[in-house]
Structure 1
Amino acid sequence: MLRRYWDPFEEIRHLQREMDRLFADFFGETTAIEERRGAYAPAIDMYETDENIVVKAELPGFKPEDVDISVTEDSVIIQGETKEEEEVKRENFYRKERRIGRIYRRIDLPKPVVPDKSEAVYKNGILTLTLPKAKPEKLEGIKIKIKEEK
């Protein structure tokens, strides 16, 4: 007898995707939504060191050439596509949980970075982005004389 197991966390992930889509539609991110229709967002960790912002993304089953990364001063976009390795008839499946298809994730960064000095390393299904933080511009203050109006 084939049993189906209910995964409550998948229900929560589905609700989160729907809420993300609702907010993106509301705030006018239509181009991003159109680009990622049918895509799922990989899980990430993001942290800061003295010199860098580091982003780690789970991309199991992807080859580096299947992933496209775009970096701007204030955001990172990770997108890609993986295809099914082999075709197996549906009636022979007992379980199919691995995801195939498109991924899309836009990550807003907490501080400005230098895009052209960013690096990406892919190892064991984890993509690690090292994004050097931009040096804050020091603006010199200018003294302004106050005129008294009579």
Structure 2
Amino acid sequence: MALIRWEPFREVDSLQRDMNRLFDSLMRATDGEPASSMAFVPAAEIEETPEAVHLKLEIPGMEAKDLDVQVTAEAVAVSGERKSETKTEEKGMTRSEFRYGSFRRVIPLPARIKNDEVQAEYKNGVLNLTLPKAEAEKNKVVKVNIG
């Protein structure tokens, strides 16, 4: 039986390569383009109270008329499109770090809501949605059987 010398740094290198490969695959779009060419995904914050679900989405640089909000009893879908405004400078070079294009985010809700009573406000790049809960959800009591 041959003895093999163990080199711990080789194991770390192998792990690092595997992690890089994982992150590279996650950062690719479904059509194979790098994620840097994809449109942004707005950050979201959700809070549940006994009466309603409050959802905040950070969508700066857009106007309310450019947003499409669709609400079902179980989820909220927000989509829109940022249009590029290209300005050419004197030397013929333009640099932009903004991301343009369409986006869509679907957020599942923790409780059923009355989707015909949703209130929305868009101010300073933040979309606030107040989603009142359905009556059955407010008074819902679940009995748990213990083994």
Normalised to the residue count of structure 1, the TM-score between the two structures is 0.62
How far the C-alpha of 1:17 sits from its partner, in A, is: 5.4
Residues 13-33 of structure 1: per-residue CA shift (max 9 Å, x gap): 9765559x6xxxxxxxxxxxx
Distance 1:88 1:58, change over 3 A: farther
- Which ranges in structure 2 are unaligned for 5 or more consecutive residues? 1-21, 31-37, 141-147
Distance 1:116 1:87, change over 3 A: same
Give the structure 1 partner of residue 69 of structure 2. 69
How far the C-alpha of 1:63 sits from its partner, in A, is: 0.5
- The residue identity in structure 1 corresponding to 2:40 is Y
- Which ranges in structure 1 are unaligned for 5 or more consecutive residues? 1-11, 22-37, 140-150
Aligned-pair identity (%):
37
Residues 7-59 of structure 1: per-residue CA shift (max 9 Å, x gap): xxxxx99765559x6xxxxxxxxxxxxxxxx5432110111122110111111
RMSD over equivalenced CA pairs, Å = 2.9
Of 99-108 and 38-47, more deviation after overlay is shown by: 38-47
- The residue identity in structure 2 corresponding to 1:128 is N
Give the structure 2 partner of residue 56 of structure 1. 56
Q: Distance in 2 between matches of 1:118 and 1:13?
A: 37
How far the C-alpha of 1:97 sits from its partner, in A, is: 1.8
Q: Distance in 2 between matches of 1:120 and 1:131?
A: 9
Q: Distance in 1 between matches of 2:126 and 2:45?
A: 10
Give the structure 1 partner of residue 134 of structure 2. 134
Contact 1:39/1:101 (<8 A) preserved: yes
- The residue identity in structure 2 corresponding to 1:55 is L
How far the C-alpha of 1:105 sits from its partner, in A, is: 0.1
- The residue identity in structure 2 corresponding to 1:92 is M
Give the structure 2 partner of residue 104 of structure 1. 104
Give the structure 2 partner of residue 116 of structure 1. 116
Matches within 5 A, 1:1-80: 16=26, 18=28, 39-80=39-80
Distance 1:132 1:18, change over 3 A: farther
Give aligned pairs, total: 110
Give the structure 1 partner of residue 93 of structure 2. 92
Q: Distance in 2 between matches of 1:83 and 1:108?
A: 27
- The residue identity in structure 1 corresponding to 2:55 is V
- Report SS of the residue matched to 1:136: helix
- The residue identity in structure 2 corresponding to 1:50 is P
Contact 1:39/1:104 (<8 A) preserved: no
Distance 1:63 1:49, change over 3 A: same
- Pick the structure with greater CA Rg: 2
